[in-house]
A and B are shown apart, each in its own frame.
Chain A
Amino acid sequence: MTVPPELHYTAEHEWVAIHDSVALVGITDHAQRALGDVVFVSVPVTGSRVTAGEPCGEVESTKSVSDLYSPVDGEVTEVNPEIDDDPGLVNSDPYGAGWLFKVRLDDGGETPPGLLSAAEYTAITKDEE
């Protein structure tokens, strides 16, 4: 299971990369393994507002559907244009081509409190196994 050390994480299994007040968001390797083959991702609409900890979409796999949560507060600036035609990118490259959406942060781009470090996230997932 991969947990890139430079990213931040949530207990709902999203990862976040923050550059220049923009958060890039996806779901983790742990999440994609648990879900199985992803067949559809419902991402938030560009221009909509998202709130940290609130569901903003769905990730649907062969056997189940999970809520997609926003890890941060802000406005969605971009969604992955490839994800509609190729939802399997979430499985094959969850931290790269499988990214889901970008959010322009409120509050001047400080890393929001409440996000987990790689070590903290790794500890949570070990507990779940």
Chain B
Amino acid sequence: MTDSAGQPRRTPLTHVHEHLGAALTDFAGWLMPLRYGSETAEHNAVRTAAGMFDLSHMGEIAVTGPAAAAALDYALVGEPSALKPGKARYTMICAENGGVLDDLIAYRLADAEFLVVANAANTEVVIDALTERAAGFDASVTDRTSDYALIAVQGPRAAGILAPLTDANLAEVKYYASYPAKVAGKPVLLARTGYTGEDGFELFARPEDAESLWASLSVAGSGDGLIPAGLAARDTLRLEAGMPLYGNELGPDLTPYDAGLGRVVRLDKSSDFVGKAALAARAAAPAEHQLVGLVSQSRRVPRHGYGVLWNGELSGSVTSGAPSPTLGVPIAMAYVRPDVAAAAGTGAAAEAGGLEVDVRGRPEPATLVELPFYRRQA
């Protein structure tokens, strides 16, 4: 995903982040802001006021044509054909063996027009798979990533900050809906989606409008505590919200069922789809492991790959972990044996302790909890 010289790609806003003094990182071949100052402050801003993210590295794939809906019903595990225009759905694309290739949001823009948003690291894989799977349908698959900048404004004050800048009636833009609108005079696709567990909006804009939009939003939000937020805060926010990260909780060796996301697989839809047989078998079989939440009783942070111990026996492994600014202690997600998940979850055995994480050679006590760790107030 780097350019021809092997350098990471710049988004339409990378120079803005540089000007703001952000610590930059190469993320999936893109030069992205990791943090602008304190990632804890950025995280807290999203929970209490609002944060603004540059997400222009995400992949945008247009699937259009008379059979676009049918092609996506075949290519994805969900049922995009059931979406009304203006609605979106979280979904996944799986391999023939049921392994997850990426998690996605599919937006239906019109009867014959969909926008599929993929993770930056998987955009090429998703484009290739969609192109191959759409081959038998009257539909086109086009990589539109460089046609879009993506700015997200997330937090309880996001709607209040955005409202004066747009002609859209935000009260009518429901969760997981999208709406062509003008924001600060610029045409955008305005979506009420996000990856933080807060209310918020994602603005799909023209790259040439990105800098102006970012500036307008910054000014509009300055009285409400809006600050720019980087990828570090994005990760701790989604972790608290119990949302999976591809490469951690999801991957080619895992199915949606493993991550507790069987709800995205529509085995009952009328069309065949790639991975159906394998996923049906997996849905019917006993689970080999279960994704759970862990709250640490130590200040040392359980991290990806660390072993989870039950009464001293290795029984699972951490997929993601970080200090939780909202909870004030480290939290983690882990795959553990289902019998351990049951035993460690409730009752006398759980009370007695016995659940630990091996943090670099020292077992640290933890408590098993149901996901998510954090839910916003309605």
| Interface of A toward B, CB cutoff 8 Å | 33, 36-37, 39-40, 42, 58, 60, 62-63, 65, 87, 91
Contact = CB atoms under 8 A, between A and B. Distances in A.
Contacts of A42: 300
Contact of A37 (B40, B299, B303): B40
B236 to A, nearest CB: 7
B301 A36 contact: no
B199 to A, nearest CB: 24
B23 interface: yes
Given A36-B232, A63-B322, 13 more contacts: A36-B38, A37-B39, A39-B299, A40-B301, A60-B300, A60-B301, A62-B232, A62-B236, A62-B322, A63-B34, A65-B301, A65-B303, A65-B360
Given A62-B322, A65-B360, A40 B300 contact: yes
B100 to A, nearest CB: 24
Task: Determine the main DSSP class of B at the interface with A.
Answer: mixed
Q: Most chain-A Cβ atoms within 10 A of its Cβ — which of B34, B236, B301, B303?
A: B301
B300 A63 contact: no
A39 B325 CA distance: 10
28 contacts: A36-B23, A36-B34, A36-B35, A36-B38, A36-B232, A37-B323, A39-B299, A39-B301, A39-B330, A40-B299, A40-B300, A40-B301, A42-B300, A58-B360, A60-B299, A60-B300, A60-B301, A62-B39, A62-B40, A62-B322, A62-B323, A63-B34, A63-B39, A63-B322, A65-B301, A65-B303, A65-B360, A91-B38
Contact of A33 (B23, B40, B299): B23
Interface in B47-101: none
B300 A36 contact: no
B360 A36 contact: no
B247 to A, nearest CB: 15
Contacts of B360: 58, 65
A73 B23 CA distance: 35
How many interface residues does chain B have, given as a range?
A: 10 to 19
Interface string B28-41: 00000011001110
A95 B191 CA distance: 46
A39 B39 contact: no
Contacts of B35: 36
A37 B301 CA distance: 13
Contacts of B303: 65
Contacts of B38: 36-37, 91
Contacts of B40: 37, 62
Contacts of B23: 33, 36
Interface in B284-310: 299-301, 303
A65 B35 CA distance: 17
A87 B360 CA distance: 20
Contacts of B322: 62-63
Nearest to A33: B23
A91 B39 CA distance: 12
A60 B300 CA distance: 7
Contacts of A39: 299, 301, 323, 330
A37 B303 CA distance: 16
A42 B359 CA distance: 13
A23 to B, nearest CB: 26
A86 to B, nearest CB: 12
A87 to B, nearest CB: 8
A58 B300 CA distance: 10
Contacts of A91: 38
Contacts of B236: 62
A20 to B, nearest CB: 33
Interface string B299-332: 1110100000000000000000011000000100
A104 B35 CA distance: 38
A33 B40 CA distance: 14
A59 B375 CA distance: 30
A37 B235 CA distance: 14
Interface in B1-44: 23, 34-35, 38-40
Nearest to A39: B323
A36 B39 contact: yes
A24 B40 CA distance: 29
Contact of A63 (B232, B299, B330): B232
Nearest to A41: B299
Contacts of A40: 299-301
Contacts of A87: 299
Which are the 4 A-B pairs with shortest beta-carbon distances? A40-B299, A39-B323, A37-B40, A37-B38
